[in-house]
Amino acid sequence: MNYQKILQEIKDEVKPILNKGKIADYIPALGRVNPSHFAMSLSLFDGRTFGVGDVEHKFSIQSISKVFTYSMAISHYEKILHKRVGHEPSGNPFNSLVQLEYENGIPRNPFINAGAIVITDMLNSKYKEKTFSKILDFIKSVNNNQNINYDKEVASSEAEFGYRNMALVNMMKSFKNITNNIEDVMDIYFKQCSISMSSSELSRAMLFLANHGIDPITKARFLTSSQAKRVSSLMLTCGHYDASGDFAFRVGLPGKSGVGGGIVAIVPEHMSICVWSPGLNSKGNSLAGTKALELFTTKTGLSIF
Ligand code: GLU
């Protein structure tokens, strides 16, 4: 298959909608991104990569970080993790408070904000003051790249305007589902959302999930195949908030989006993909990014169904 040609066709086809989405502006640091950016990258098991657009431009990974932190937590807390976080789609926006109240502070899944905050709390219990550097180390190792860091301006903006996330963590603390100091947990959570990566880095970083938990290039094992199955299953059912069903319907691949405009997806046993376009649809997922992935699976016939 001529992947480079297919990517170029996709880039041309989504061009008219690049400026139609809305940039995340809940913090000023994200609102300044140029909406006409577009990048799409593929990583294959044999080390070949393909890409179009701004593939080396770093952007804020935001909720894509939840895939990495859930992967870290599931390998340490496999038996008990899902007593504190569910594994059902929420059908609610990523930062919703309502469901959390009537479900007694147990978030529906690790990919909505509340669930990701509980996961960060679990990692904080294990790694204490080293937690954020352990998260960065994990991402560096799945990416086989040391050049990954977070954007301090985005992190402090997240903290300054994080009223709703603070409400979520306080409510969960009142239900005793947060065990560490709230300020410590949120400092780590805001930093993990503020990690900057490019689409070529993110697509490389997802290869282990496409290959049952083992990096197909370095052969390093990060998860058991059962754990990798769980992470990928939740990406399929919960990776796009209350538009997860729509994403599965259109694209047919496990994927995870972030409000920075990135989406990662995996084609099990074949490849991993990242697309980036900062304009978002009404559900907070990249508008052109979702379309690009839909075009990719339509043109190549590569989906899990
Ligand atoms: N930093 C964002 C928040 O916690 C992450 C949300 C997202 O990427 O979907 O509000």
Residue 198 has which token pair?
């490019």
Are 124 and 161 found together in one domain? yes
Query: Number of C-alpha atoms within 13 angstroms, CB side, residue 185?
Result: 26
Nearest Cα residue to atom 4 of ligand 1: 113
> Does residue 210 sit in helix, strand or coil?
helix
Q: Centre a 10 Å sphere on the Cβ of residue 56 and count the other Cβ atoms it contains.
A: 12
> What does the pLDDT read at residue 143?
97
- The residue among 142, 160, 193 that closes a domain is 193
Are 92 and 161 found together in one domain? yes
Are 155 and 224 found together in one domain? no
Q: Indicate if ligand 1 lies below 6 Å from the C-beta of 62.
A: yes
Q: Is residue 155 part of a domain?
A: yes
Return the ligand 1 atom nearest residue 260 CA. 8
Are 36 and 158 found together in one domain? no
Q: Is residue 305 part of a domain?
A: no
Q: How far is CA 115 from CA 44, 97, 105, 227, in A?
A: 31, 12, 10, 17
Q: Is residue 95 part of a domain?
A: yes
Are 148 and 240 found together in one domain? no
Interval between CA 148 and ligand 1 midpoint (Å):
19
> What does the pLDDT read at residue 78?
85
Report yes or no: 64 and 258 within 8 Å, Cβ to Cβ. yes
> What does the pLDDT read at residue 202?
98
Q: Indicate if ligand 1 lies below 6 Å from the C-beta of 94.
A: yes
Are 145 and 155 found together in one domain? yes
Q: Indicate if ligand 1 lies below 6 Å from the C-beta of 258.
A: yes
Interval between CA 292 and ligand 1 midpoint (Å):
22
* Of 259, 264, 267, 275, catalytic: 259
Q: What does the pLDDT look like over 29-61, one tens digit per residue?
A: 899 999 999 999 999 999 999 999 999 999 999
**For a pocket test of ligand 1, which of 33, 112, 113 has the largest count of ligand atoms closer than 8 A to its C-beta?**
113
Q: Is residue 282 part of a domain?
A: yes
Q: What does the pLDDT look like over 233-254, one tens digit per residue?
A: 999 999 998 899 999 999 999 9
Total structural domains within the chain: 2
Cα–Cα distance between 57 and 280 in angstroms, integer? 18
Are 40 and 93 found together in one domain? no
Strands 262-267 and 271-276: antiparallel
Q: Is residue 271 part of a domain?
A: yes
> What does the pLDDT read at residue 93?
76
Q: Is residue 182 part of a domain?
A: yes
Interval between CA 169 and ligand 1 midpoint (Å):
14
Are 231 and 162 found together in one domain? no
Q: Indicate if ligand 1 lies below 6 Å from the C-beta of 63.
A: yes
CATH number of the domain to which 101 belongs? 3.40.710.10
Q: Name the pTM for this structure.
A: 0.97
Low-confidence spans in the chain with pLDDT less than 50:
none
Question: Dihedral angle at the C-alpha atoms of 213, 189, 99, 26, nearest 10 degrees?
Answer: -120
Are 74 and 51 found together in one domain? no
Interval between CA 65 and ligand 1 midpoint (Å):
10
> What does the pLDDT read at residue 90?
87
Which residues make Cβ contacts (< 8 Å) with residue 35, sequence separation at least 6? 18, 19, 21, 23, 277, 278, 279
Are 54 and 95 found together in one domain? no
> What does the pLDDT read at residue 225?
97
Is 259 one of the catalytic residues? Answer: yes
Is 163 one of the catalytic residues? Answer: no
Query: What is the side-by-side strand order in the sheet with 195-197?
Result: 59-60, 195-197, 149-150
Q: What are phi and psi of 149, to 5 degrees?
A: -150, 180
Are 70 and 186 found together in one domain? yes
Which residues make Cβ contacts (< 8 Å) with residue 182, sequence separation at least 6? 166, 169, 170, 173
Cα–Cα distance between 30 and 36 in angstroms, integer? 14
> What does the pLDDT read at residue 66?
98
Determine the straight-line distance between the first and last CA of the chain, rounded to whole angstroms: 19
Is 189 one of the catalytic residues? Answer: yes
Is 219 one of the catalytic residues? Answer: no
User: Using N-to-C axis directions, what is the helix angle for 65-76 and 182-193, rounded to 10°?
Assistant: 130
**For a pocket test of ligand 1, which of 94, 150, 160 has the largest count of ligand atoms closer than 8 A to its C-beta?**
94
Our measurement of the distance from residue 19's CA atom to the centroid of its chain's CA atoms, rounded to an integer in Å, reads 22
Range of the domain at 213: 3-62+196-299
For residue 210, the cross-strand partners are none
Are 31 and 83 found together in one domain? no
Nearest Cα residue to atom 3 of ligand 1: 113
* Of 75, 90, 241, 267, catalytic: 241
- The residue among 193, 219, 238 that closes a domain is 193
* Of 70, 77, 150, 189, catalytic: 189
Q: Is residue 304 part of a domain?
A: no
- The residue among 145, 178, 193 that closes a domain is 193
DSSP letter string over 146-208?
S--EE-HHHHHHHHHT-HHHHHHHHHHHHTT---S-HHHHHHHHHHHHTEEE-HHHHHHHTHH
Our measurement of the distance from residue 107's CA atom to the centroid of its chain's CA atoms, rounded to an integer in Å, reads 17
Burial, 121: exposed, middle or buried (Cβ in 10 Å; 0-12, 13-18, 19+)? buried
Q: Centre a 10 Å sphere on the Cβ of residue 17 and count the other Cβ atoms it contains.
A: 15
Is 241 one of the catalytic residues? Answer: yes
> What does the pLDDT read at residue 25?
87
> What does the pLDDT read at residue 168?
96
